[in-house]
Amino acid sequence: MAVEFQAAQAVADAILYEGYLLYPYRRSSAKNRVRWQFGVLLPEPWAAKNLTDPGTSVAGSAESWWQQTECLFAALPTDVVHCRLRFLHLRRRSVEELGPDGIYREVDRVDVGARTALSFDEAVPHEFDAQLPIGELLAGERRFDVWLPASEDVEPLAGVGRVRREGWPLRASLTLSMATCDAPLYRLRARVENTGDVPGPEATRDEALRHALLSTHLLLAVPGGSFVSLLDPPDWAENSARACANVRTFPVLAGDGVVLSSPILLYDHPRVAPESPGDLHDSAEIDEILSLRTLTLTDAEKREARATDPRAAAILDRVEAMPPETMARLHGRAEVPWWNPEADAAVAPETNTVMVGGTPVRRGSRVRLRPRLRGTDPQDMFLDGRTARVEGVLLDVDGSHHLAVILEDDPGADLHQWYGRFRYFAPDETEALGEPE
């Protein structure tokens, strides 16, 4: 592993297996029969015929035969660009039973003692690295071919059968190019294409997936250089950032001088929660509830999960061996990293003040609710005219104020205050009823 990619590797792996195997991790689960939802690059002939939007738009189709990343960085002309292409490649696992005539025939499952072997589609991770000096890329684009041959291996099953794993050939390309922008910036473009010509347009999606790149994403680094955030660029780089064309992928800062270009929307500097003991391969993971639900599986369900995929077996082993203190850490924690009341009192909900009709409103103020007729929660209409007590004045990242309130005539007001469960209204949706006592 390249040293510069180590910090981003854990997040990249989580993306690689996002939705790979959803709880309850069994082949028989309906949701595990519709897989491979992110970063799917299918052969061009099949994509052109079967996808609703194989062109340049993100909307309408999450799949295509290509994706493109563009990002900005500052560096010296002698620096080197490192690019790592990562994806999964489908492999079919077939279970075959040995008949009395000595011929192997494919079956759904084979039981060998305490082990059960099931037929299932697996995925094999692959990486391809390219390193080029900036000067060489400025002289012209460079294309690299990626080729995976067909593969097959056989695992015997104690004389009663065998497991046969079959992988199909895959062809792809990675094209890198660069251009100068407003000094001192360069714009790097990385285009990934599925260049295979099989199967034909009439094939099923399952057949096309055998020759597809799955969960395709890139890691980019320029040792000695620095990337510019496309989500929050500095003022001097805003025009160059807007000119970047990213198609079906979203580059974000992912460490010191590293960009992760993901098929899933992320913020800059994503990270795996330090409390998480390992991947659960379930999109939008919630470690505590998934771990607890996994412990509720019956012995028969656990046996099927272990037979479904080695990663499911690893999840079961980890959850069953999890000590109580590790499970307790998964319960969550309160964290407000953007608010330091000592450093910036302007964003302190308990002391903020906002003007409502010429009257200062802060925590403890009484207000009458006047919800807007449009653009608001319809249920708020039932609160029109009710009085409320302000529990905090919040400021969002866009600079807008919001009042956190509790209804005065709510019999559960004290309980809501204790839990911190408030209703939220904009200042212009209220009438001030005087200063707090």
HEC-encoded secondary structure of 346-396: HHCCCCCEEEECCEEEECCCEEEECCCCCCCCHHHHHHCCCEEEEEEEEEC
Among 65, 32, 33, which Cα is nearest to 47's? 65
The enclosing domain of 365 has a CATH number of 2.30.30
Q: Which domain holds residue 288?
A: 3-327
| 307 plus 219 within the same structural domain | yes
> Among 19-33, 48-62, 242-256, 284-298, where is mean pLDDT lowest?
48-62
pLDDT in tens, 137-165: 999 999 999 999 999 999 999 889 999 99
Class of residue 113 by CB neighbours under 10 A (exposed 0-12, middle 13-18, buried 19+): exposed
Same domain, 182 and 214: yes
Tally the domains of the chain: 2
**Residue 272 to residues 276, 277, 285, 321, Cα–Cα distance (Å):** 7, 10, 11, 21
* Helix, strand, coil % in the chain, rounded to nearest 5: 20, 35, 40
Q: Do 96 and 8 reside in the same domain of the chain? A: yes
The rounded distance, in Å, linking the Cα atoms of 207 and 168 is 10
- In angstroms, how far is the first alpha carbon of the chain from the final one? 63
Helices 299-308 and 310-320 pack at an angle, to 10 degrees, of 140
pLDDT band at 61 (very low <50, low <70, confident <90, very high): very low
Judge whether 231 and 268 are in contact, CB under 8 Å: yes
Whether residues 322 and 361 fall in one domain: no
Residue 387 bridge partners (DSSP): 368
Taking the CA atoms of 126, 130, 131 and 137 in sequence, report the sign of the dihedral they define: negative
**Is the predicted pLDDT of residue 188 greater than 80, yes or no?**
yes
Same domain, yes or no: 305 and 380? no
Do 313 and 305 form a contact (C-beta atoms < 8 A)?
A: yes
349 and 318 housed in the same domain:
no
Q: Are both 32 and 154 inside the same structural domain?
A: yes
Assign 60 a pLDDT band (cuts: 50, 70, 90). Answer: very low
Residue 290 placed within a domain: yes
Average pLDDT, the chain: 88
CB-based contact 131:249 (threshold 8 Å): no
pTM for the structure as a whole: 0.76
The residues near 300 (Cβ < 8 Å, ≥ 6 apart) are none
Residues 306 and 361 in one domain: no
Mean pLDDT in residue range 101-124: 91
